[in-house]
Structure 1
């Protein structure tokens, strides 16, 4: 074992966007554990996305501060934020929309 080597755990908070594979549905959420949350959504453990599975992760951003992540999530849920998100992902949506 090497001496003097310190491993730091730095928590991140993720704002993520899911898209239903079968229906015209987009979901925006926030989590500290992206893998676990994605699994929960696809295993119908989340009421708000249960009817839209299977889902795919199409976008995420990582933040060091939960308040910053929450602010971004809330923005993406506004009309202007939805427009911004569609512009950011316009090439993706050209080939993957309903």
Structure 2
């Protein structure tokens, strides 16, 4: 991955409630560690997680817009279609 692709929009799948959590970050590894270890109040009760999707952007603003879109009802539909096979696998585990 080129260094310029700095901003990541990511999707977590909660095995606890089979729902998605959408966020963005400049450091995906650090952010995932926080989620997986219960250090994020928004996601701690919903552990464990899997990461079915992430995408990188050059600009912070673009990543923020994409996160907002994925959190909208049409964005959630798009995301579920994009991740259909992965989510199907995760739900059957």
TM-score (norm 2): 0.88
Q: Return 5+ residue gaps in structure 1 as ranges.
A: 1-7
Divergent runs of 4+, >4 A: none
Structure 2: gaps (5+ residues): none
Which residue is equivalent to 1:61?
55
- CA apart distance, 1:96: 2.2
Q: Distance in 2 between matches of 1:93 and 1:53?
A: 16
Whole-angstrom CA distance in 2 between matches of 1:23 and 1:77 = 17
2:86 paired with 1:92: yes
Correspondence for 1:3: none
* Greater radius of gyration (CA): 1
Q: Which has the higher helix share?
A: 2
Aligned pairs (5 A) from 1:1-98: 9-10=3-4, 12-97=6-91
Q: 1:71, CA displacement in angstroms?
A: 0.2
Matched pairs, number: 91
Question: Aligned with 2:40: secondary structure?
Answer: coil
Q: Secondary structure at the match of 2:18?
A: coil
